[in-house]
Structure 1
Amino acid sequence: MKYTDEQKEHIRHCFDYYCKKTIRYQAINLYRESAKYAERNVSYEEILNEYFSECGECDTYPILQYHFEAFGYKFSVNDYKLGNALSQLPKKKRDIILMYYFANFKLTEIARMLGKPHQSISYIHPNIKKIA
């Protein structure tokens, strides 16, 4: 059977419409299934975070911690290498590191606490990065 060009175009149009409709409904079904799956299932990370305290706790021993104080703030460092490195620094540099990295103070705020110009703190800060 021979088709005219108009008939071929119509058949192609109907087939395209059928494919698009099928793909659209398949996508809708997949979205629905994934929503149902998300409602019914819980990820391992959620379970771990929710029940972590019930499963057990990690012991921390004060002997293995380094304790520092800067500007009235107390800091405990659990990492041995970091605590050892901080304890070997001069107090001024250690205080700047603790306030900047552990307490999230800005360099201008630290300079204000020390009563020094911002430039002197900014000069010390990059040198600290070279040491660490």
Structure 2
Amino acid sequence: MTCTESYKEHIMYTFHGFCKVVIRNAAITAWRDQQRRHKREISLEYLTEEKFYPLGTTDEYFTVPYEEYPVTICGQTIILTNGKLAAALLSLPEKNREIIFLYFFGNYRQWEIGEMYGRCRSTTGYQIHRTLKLLRKEMEVLSHGESESYPL
């Protein structure tokens, strides 16, 4: 069975017509879905103006107010939320407090702190390390309720 030119043309027109119908129906379905979604949606303006719905929530765990412990080091006051840390910092010698403050809160590098105190970088690093050990010991002593501090 041979296909004539007119039969090939007829198949092509039928196929194009079928594609147009499928595309048209898909577009109508998409439009109807969009209209249904639009009917179910509630605008943000309506929620915020007509009825009060909070736009965000927080757990009560995070809303517990912290006690603030101000500590003044190098003429600047820092607010700490850990009372044991504040007490341990205040129990350190002034020079050690300043080094810890400059390194952790002032974002100075070890060699910059060393230049301020006339020391080399490695000595400053050692002092920071030793002060952190001393701070840890003080916090352990405070957490156990002992008033005596241990030497290194």
Provide TM-score, normalisation by structure 1.
0.47
Q: Which has more radius of gyration?
A: 2
Provide TM-score, normalisation by structure 2.
0.41
Q: Flag the structure with higher helix content.
A: 1
